[in-house]
Amino acid sequence: MKKTILPSRLDNLISVLNPVDIFIDVGSDHGYASSYVLENQLAKRVIATDIHALPAQRTSNYLKQQGFSDYSQVLCVDGLSSIRVRKSDAVLIAGMGGYEIIHILTDALDGNSIELGATFLLQPQRSFRELRSFLADRGFEIRDERIARDKDKYYVGILAVYNGRAYQTDIISAVLGPVIISERPCYFELFMKDRLETLKKEVLGQPELCPVLEYVEKVIQSL
Ligand SMILES: C[S@@+](CC[C@H](N)C(=O)[O-])C[C@H]1O[C@@H](n2cnc3c(N)ncnc32)[C@H](O)[C@@H]1O
């Protein structure tokens, strides 16, 4: 078996995961993340889901090729449909928009299918502010955040644990990330400079982002 190499954005996010019972890979596409966690003993079993038949089949083929057919189940469904997420499990939802992630989590919460204590690895491509506000409203505690760099693009990954206790967030934390602000992880400086350029454009249409822009400018001056 040839070992699976993940793109740095996924490698970086999965590196924060402690071993779990079931790893649930939502939007598995090629199945690389699913195979990677089994190859590295980060889960006993994997459930991979994809809303489209072709990627679901691709995932199934890859897991078979890697010798993991007996340890995995591949479903062609929307998000977490028909899956119960236990406290000993972790869910990866990466490479989709923040609103799609919110839709998947909302459906699962509405179906009462997430146990308190379950872990979530989330990597939205956009709409961080909306996703972090949703996490706060619905009681997903953000425990870790990492920045990855891939071909001059920055990716932020969030590790959140569902405890059902809603909390307040402010616009600076929602846009930039509470752990990114407090812990300043690897690539922090480059990420802030990248955000600065984007925020300068975004404030033109969203004046409520002015405090975030001012915050980023101050941080950069102090580095
Ligand atoms: C860009 S790929 C990302 C694949 C992988 N998660 C990654 O980060 O590299 C997005 C995948 O998510 C699937 N997808 C999109 N919305 C979904 C949903 N609601 N439920 C399950 N899969 C979904 C797409 O079919 C596609 O295969």
Residue type, 57: Q
Tokens 């994809």 belong to residue: 50
Cβ(13) – ligand 1 distance below 6 Å: no
Give nearest CA residue, ligand 1 atom 1: 95
Confidence of residue 1 (pLDDT cuts 50, 70, 90): confident
Cβ burial 105-138 (10 Å sphere, 16+ → b, else e): beebbeeebbeeebbbbbbbeebbbbbbbbbbeb
Whole-number pLDDT of residue 120: 98
Residue type, 195: R
The closest-lying atom of ligand 1 relative to the alpha carbon of residue 123 is 8
Q: What is the pTM of this model?
A: 0.98
Identify the structural domains of the chain with CATH numbers, from first to last.
8-169 (3.40.50.150)
* Kind plus residue range of the DSSP H or E element containing 168: none
CB 13 within 8 A of CB 146: yes
Helix 98-110 to helix 128-138 angle, to the nearest 10 degrees? 20
Cβ(130) – ligand 1 distance below 6 Å: no
Per-residue pLDDT of 155-209, as tens digits, reads 999 999 999 999 999 999 999 999 999 999 999 999 999 999 999 999 999 999 9
Per-residue pLDDT of 66-75, as tens digits, reads 999 999 999 9
Per-residue pLDDT of 88-130, as tens digits, reads 999 999 999 999 999 999 999 999 999 999 999 999 999 999 9
CB 173 within 8 A of CB 215: no
For ligand 1, the distance from its centroid to the CA atom of residue 50, given in whole angstroms, is 6
Confidence of residue 58 (pLDDT cuts 50, 70, 90): very high
